[in-house]
A = this chain, B = another copy of it.
Amino acid sequence: MYMAKVVGSVVSTQKDPSLVGRKLMIVQPVNSDGQSVRHQEVAADSVGAGVGEYVLLVRGAGARRASQLDDGIRDVNDCAIVGIIDRFDK
């Protein structure tokens, strides 16, 4: 999992059916000092994270396990917010 900060969201009208109605957040990966590392990605939010919050990201098949879609919808997503980080303990 990666630590990231939510910095915004993307608006997309024309997209895969599995992404309709989902919050697609722009996330900046960070280290445990809150410093930016790597590059921004877009993650589907399943825990109600808001802009400015630190979150946990998962990628790949794990991201699809975080969603509850209707039967017959094949989820294309490969990045999900699966937790809100309250505190880094070091």
> Is A2's CB under 8 angstroms from B42's CB?
yes
Which residues of chain A in 53-90 are interfacial with respect to chain B, using CB atoms and an 8 Å cutoff? 56, 58-66, 74-80, 82-90
Chain B residues within an 8 Å CB radius of A11: 85-89
A21 interface residue (CB < 8 Å to B): no
> Is B76's CB under 8 angstroms from A62's CB?
yes
Which residues of chain A in 26-46 are interfacial with respect to chain B, using CB atoms and an 8 Å cutoff? 26, 29, 31-32, 37-44, 46
> Is B61's CB under 8 angstroms from A65's CB?
no
Residue A19 contacts which of B3, B12, B39, B82 (CB distance < 8 angstroms)?
A: B82
**Residues in A lying within 8 Å of B, measured CB to CB:** 1-3, 7-16, 18-19, 24, 26, 29, 31-32, 37-44, 46-48, 51, 56, 58-66, 74-80, 82-90
